[in-house]
Amino acid sequence: MTRNPVFWRAKGRRPFSDVDFVVVFIVSENWWLRVAASPVELPETFMIAHRYAASRMFERPRGTNDWGPEDMAKRRFVESRFIQLAESFGFREVSTPTFESLDLFTAKSGSAIVRELYAFKDQGGRDLALRPEFTASILRFYVSDLRSRPKPIKVYTTGNVFRYEEPQKGRYREFFQLNAEIIGGATLPSDAEVLALAIGTMRAIGLKQVKARIGNIGILRGFLPFAPADQAVVLHSLDKRNFPMLDAELDRLGRPDLSKALRQLVELSGDVSILDQAAKILGSEAGAGFEYLRKIADLLDAYGVSQQDYAFDMGVVRGLDYYTGMVFEIDSPNLGAEKQVGGGGAYNLAEVFGGERIAQTGFALGLDRLVMSAEAERATETPRPLDAYVVPIGEGVQKKAIEVLMSLRAAGLGADIDLVGRGPSKNLDYANAIGARYAVLLGEKELKASKATVRDMASGVQREVPLTDLVDAILSRPARGPEPAKPKRRAAGTRAERSRRR
């Protein structure tokens, strides 16, 4: 498509040389806008505009995202809090393929699931699918390779997953999960451990608005005297709170009498006291399931999980077919429609994949939604600024400037250098724009004296520093005037570099 650049000049119709700035914009399926801050920038601005007008632009596939440096800093912050906590709980990291045999996902859920997947044939005619979650892959891995390990097996993984969904804010076709599973522990303590890790992760991120809803799908399954496929349809209607569908299904199955109890049950939500009400609705047979949830509450108390952070909710049904016992979902109320940031529970997949009957429980948190929630609550950390931006002044100093740069990097500082060949004042503008704490100016005169000029970018204060003290100077607090004397430290870098500096 051809795009026609439109030029708009500030200060009315006057020659370009006489204006303060020029705005160039192009109207197409995307808006494109560039401001030439001064007449000097005009040629470059025009060139970019014409190149843009002539070229083809590619768009991201629907439901996917690009993440810039600021986004990635927030995402890594959230992810690292999960990883730190999971490691401290004794979980260890695993990794599984991004695509799997299609059968892995249809084995439990049937072929209807295919329309929710990115399923494809490879060039060898094999039916494959991009993973829509991690749980099935980890259980496949368990059955094929991890079974002989001491139990329980506690693993976590993070990465991208793919679902063919209708995209909207917070709901994507490629999204990221933080996932943890326990295989082979006793059911009750394992369920409590995954709940404590899931809720703890929210707290470790610094989120205040945390609400887990804990239910027990085992109780519902026990109450529904139907074959698994029919049970799944009834549970699906309860999950969606689609009561007309529920009634139609119960009519079809000849048990319309169950409708009232089910409707009452899924509306129950609150503290431990609702378990008594729920038990009354379902009768004595469901007693053990409610007792189990009471014990979960006791263990969460021992973990230090606040009662404010969770409620019991008999309406938690979960969308995936493999859950068998305790189930939970975590909401972040500040997110609007797509407020569910995580979910999980006890399930059975090992047997479906040819393994033994063994307890399995776990959860996944949606990274994209967690980050949105952390942004809304201002819980994300600001990214670490660049410590030093090295500015070589003059052709002859470039090699030495790189050596200085590398000595800063070797000391663990974040350091960058001019890669464009700009003059000092443009370089200072750039250092300012990227948020560097210090600029390290290296001219021939300074280097002859084995010194650098260090400029505190926040205060503008400049001072000469011996190269041997450069790391200390940059590690120190921002300068407000003359710096107090610092104890001498061995300068970073190789011995050859240090002797050269002396």
Residues in contact with ligand HAM by CB under 6 A are 133, 135, 163, 165, 170-172, 175, 177, 179, 181, 320, 340-344, 347, 362-364, 366, 368-369
As a whole number of angstroms, the distance between CA 419 and CA 72 comes to 23
**Residue in 89, 84, 80 with CA at minimum distance from that of residue 303:** 89
Contact criterion met (CB below 8 Å) for 224 and 258: yes
Tokens of 327: 């189930």
Q: How many CA within 13 A on the CB side of residue 373?
A: 30
The Cα 359–Cα 162 span in angstroms is 27
**Beta carbon of residue 86, minimum distance to ligand HAM (angstroms, whole number):** 13
Nearest approach, Cβ of 201 to ligand HAM (angstroms)?
12
Residue number with CB closer to ligand HAM (135 or 201) = 135
How many angstroms separate the CA atoms of 188 and 190, rounded?
A: 5
**CB of 347 vs ligand HAM, minimal distance in Å:** 6
Can you say how many angstroms the Cα of residue 317 is from the centroid of all Cα atoms in its chain? 25
Q: How far is the CB of 81 from ligand HAM (least distance, A)?
A: 16
Q: How far is the CB of 135 from ligand HAM (least distance, A)?
A: 4
Cβ proximity to ligand HAM, 316 vs 441, nearer residue? 316
Q: Is the dihedral of CA 57, 58, 60, 65 positive or negative?
A: negative
Nearest residue (CB) to ligand HAM, 23 versus 83? 83
Nearest CA to 363 out of 209, 208, 200, 145 is that of: 200
Q: What is the 3-state secondary structure (H, E, C) of 57-123?
A: CCCCCCCCCCCCHHHHHHHHHHHHHHHHHHHHCCCEECCCCCEEEHHHHHHHHCHHHHHHCCEEECC
Residue 391, token pair as written in the block: 């500015």
CB of 197 to ligand HAM, least distance (A): 11
Look up residue 497 and give its two tokens.
Answer: 């570099």
For the record, the structure tokens of 163 come out as 């679902």
The smaller minimum CB distance to ligand HAM, of residues 342 and 493, is found at 342
User: Minimum CB separation from ligand HAM for residue 193, in Å?
Assistant: 13
Two tokens, residue 437: 């704490």
Measured from the CB atom, is 77 or 347 closer to ligand HAM? 347
* CB of residue 275 to ligand HAM, shortest distance in Å: 23
Nearer to ligand HAM (CB atom), residue 368 or residue 446? 368
Q: Supply 243's token pair.
A: 């009561």
Nearer to ligand HAM, 3 or 369 (CB): 369
CA distance 169 to 371: 13
Contact 483, 495 (CB under 8 A): no
Answer whether 390's CB lies under 8 Å from 406's CB.
no
Strands (E), 245-322: 269-270, 310-313
Q: From the CB of 369, what's the least distance to ligand HAM, in Å?
A: 4
Least spacing, CB of residue 257 vs ligand HAM, in Å? 31
Residue number of the CB atom closest to ligand HAM = 366
* 485 backbone dihedrals φ, ψ, rounded to 5°: -65, 140
Q: How many CB atoms lie within 10 A of CB 430?
A: 17
Whose Cβ is closer to ligand HAM: residue 135's or residue 427's? 135
User: Which lies closer to ligand HAM via its Cβ, residue 194 or residue 457?
Assistant: 194
Torsions phi, psi of 46, nearest 5? -60, -40
DSSP-derived secondary structure for 479-490: PSSSPPP----P
CB of 192 to ligand HAM, least distance (A): 15
Instruction: Output the CA angle 93-98-101, nearest 5 degrees.
Output: 115
Q: Which is nearer to ligand HAM, 172 or 292 (CB)?
A: 172
Residue closer to ligand HAM (CB basis): 52 or 118: 118
- Closest distance to ligand HAM from the beta carbon of 128 (Å): 19
Q: Which residue(s) pair with 99 in the sheet?
A: 130
Q: Closer CB to ligand HAM, residue 166 or residue 257?
A: 166
